[in-house]
Structure 1
Amino acid sequence: MSTSLDEYNEATHDALHRAWSGWGTVDEHVIAHLISPEFLGGPRWPSTRQAHVVVRRDGELLVASDGLADPMEWEDGGDPPVTNGFGVEVYAMSGDEFEDTSVEAIPRTWLGMLLMGVSSTVAQNGPTFARMLQAEGTITVAFGADALPAAAHERYVDGDGLAVVLLGATGKEIPDTVDGPLSPIRLVNAKLLTAAEGAFCVQDGRGSRESREELVRRFHDQGAPLHSSLTRDSVVG
């Protein structure tokens, strides 16, 4: 394709900025890397830009990937051959109190580490992740518990030393999708599950769609379906 993708970058940024600004105040600075992790053996994002945005609102914090939906041309031609990257950006939000919410400090918080880990997993699986999410509605991802403070391990870490995140829950606070200049972009919530909730929706080593949907229903009843917290009550006993 002869047309430069640069012309779509600003339109993509504006579409995502409008979505995040509808929730809170977007920090003018982003969490970025001096050297792209792609060049250090990390997963490839649609472009070499791998960043995360920070949004604040009345003591609440939202961290979102910024680059998974960057415009890209598929090497195999694709259908369509040019898209807004993997067609997703992932985000996590919390009303928990953090000692330091500066852009420099957020990557060291459990919320920042959780979301950045999820972003890396999404990038590693790319189009496969997007197709799976489209087919299943929600999915779960396990990750190492290093991101969580030791005091939270009893409630949030399973016997294998893993914590579980539910991806794909929806709610009124954040739009499900935004219109990118090349293709739709799904905004994917990442919600930290308690160990009991994780076991509830991942039975016998396999994920149950019905169980995940039941969890989402209970989260709505609880009143904050999109928020992660280290202090909330588990919806599974």
Structure 2
Amino acid sequence: MNFFKKLLGSSKSPEPQAQDVPQPHEQSNLTEAEAANLAVREAGEACLDRHWNSVGTVERDVLSYLISPSFSGGPYWPSTRQAYRVVRRGDTIILATEGLSDPFDDTEGMGNGFEMELFVETADIPEHARGAVGEVDPFKRSWVFELLEHVAKTVADAGGITHQLDQYGALSLELPGLSQSHHMSDQLPKLFVTDDDSTGVLLGAPEPDFPTQLDDMPLSPVRLVPVVLITAAELEYVRSGGRTAREDLVSRLKAAGVGLGHMSSLHRASVV
């Protein structure tokens, strides 16, 4: 298939909480293998932190969970750490996954997890869901966090999508059951909702205006994959035209310069 499907609300995760970015841990009670895994994970975190700090202003706190969703029927990430970081960039906000590229907890020699992290950049977050500097908790009540969380679930269920991105260049993801969502149903304009109650995104394109390939991760290169909200008309175009339509949509978004192409804007017109 040229897109994945995921029912919103099909599995419930613990409510995300704002937590400090983890600091180096005591390793005295860890086995040699556990200590080595932890050291690699922290090196990867530091690499991501350096990169995002070169893009914008990174909040110290991340959105995480008191109990990992993998313990309550949620999809498995490479480690039990499932988090989302906030990067402030002028008038826009980047929300990015943190943990899809962690080394696998129980497996050695497998590289940096799924070798990818996801991100969304947008300026269109409602005031009540847009935390002030130093505050990230309100973002969990935004459409952008809910969308990114569900895309991350789908990607984790698939075991990552780097091979598909290599093959197709870009992917499209369809999210049906929008009316069941907690925040997207209230915050997304009708322009982005199909008649059958779905919304859609592009994965992997258009590319942003900053590097997305991290070659200095400790075990293997990691790519940062943009998640771009598309309109209902654009989703229908991809539904009917498949890969050819998807590639044409990416070209049209680039040509239109809609928010630098990769940004998710709730106020733009369709390009098809």
Identity across matched positions, percent: 39
2:171 equivalent among 136, 139, 143: 139
1:131-170 equivalences in 2 (<5 Å): 131-143=163-175, 144-145=177-178, 146=181, 147-150=183-186, 152-170=188-206
1:35 equivalent among 49, 67, 86: 67
Is 1:85 the equivalent of 2:113? yes
CA distance in structure 2 between the aligned counterparts of 1:190 and 1:172, rounded to whole angstroms: 10
CA distance in structure 1 between the aligned counterparts of 2:208 and 2:264, rounded to whole angstroms: 16
**1:175 partner letter:** P
Query: Would the alpha carbon gap of residues 125 and 48 (structure 1) be closer, same or farther in structure 2, given more than 3 Å must change?
Result: same
**2:268 partner letter:** R
Contact 2:121 2:264 (C-alpha < 8 Å) held by counterparts = yes
Contact 1:89 1:185 (C-alpha < 8 Å) held by counterparts = yes
CA distance in structure 1 between the aligned counterparts of 2:91 and 2:76, rounded to whole angstroms: 34
Is 1:119 the equivalent of 2:148? no
Greater CA drift, 19-28 or 40-49? 19-28
Is 1:216 the equivalent of 2:244? no
CA distance in structure 2 between the aligned counterparts of 1:64 and 1:11, rounded to whole angstroms: 18
Shift in Å, 1:51: 0.2
Is 1:62 the equivalent of 2:94? yes
Give 2:3's aligned residue. none
CA distance in structure 2 between the aligned counterparts of 1:155 and 1:70, rounded to whole angstroms: 36
SS in 2 for 1:229: coil
1:192-203 equivalences in 2 (<5 Å): 192-203=229-240
Give 1:175's aligned residue. 211
Query: Would the alpha carbon gap of residues 30 and 150 (structure 1) be closer, same or farther in structure 2, given more than 3 Å must change?
Result: closer
CA distance in structure 2 between the aligned counterparts of 1:120 and 1:71, rounded to whole angstroms: 18
SS in 1 for 2:158: helix
Give 2:48's aligned residue. 16
CA distance in structure 2 between the aligned counterparts of 1:37 and 1:74, rounded to whole angstroms: 17
Give 2:268's aligned residue. 232
CA distance in structure 2 between the aligned counterparts of 1:181 and 1:169, rounded to whole angstroms: 26
CA distance in structure 1 between the aligned counterparts of 2:74 and 2:192, rounded to whole angstroms: 27
| Structure 1: segments with no counterpart, 5+ residues | none
Contact 1:170 1:176 (C-alpha < 8 Å) held by counterparts = no
Cα shift readout 1:102-154 (whole Å, capped 9, x = no counterpart) = 21111110111111111111111114x22212211111111132242446452
**1:96 partner letter:** D
Query: Would the alpha carbon gap of residues 221 and 28 (structure 1) be closer, same or farther in structure 2, given more than 3 Å must change?
Result: same
Give 1:189's aligned residue. 226
CA distance in structure 2 between the aligned counterparts of 1:173 and 1:74, rounded to whole angstroms: 36
CA distance in structure 1 between the aligned counterparts of 2:266 and 2:72, rounded to whole angstroms: 32
Contact 2:125 2:142 (C-alpha < 8 Å) held by counterparts = no
Greater CA drift, 184-193 or 144-153? 144-153
CA distance in structure 2 between the aligned counterparts of 1:194 and 1:213, rounded to whole angstroms: 15
Contact 2:118 2:225 (C-alpha < 8 Å) held by counterparts = yes
| Structure 2: segments with no counterpart, 5+ residues | 1-31
**2:113 partner letter:** G
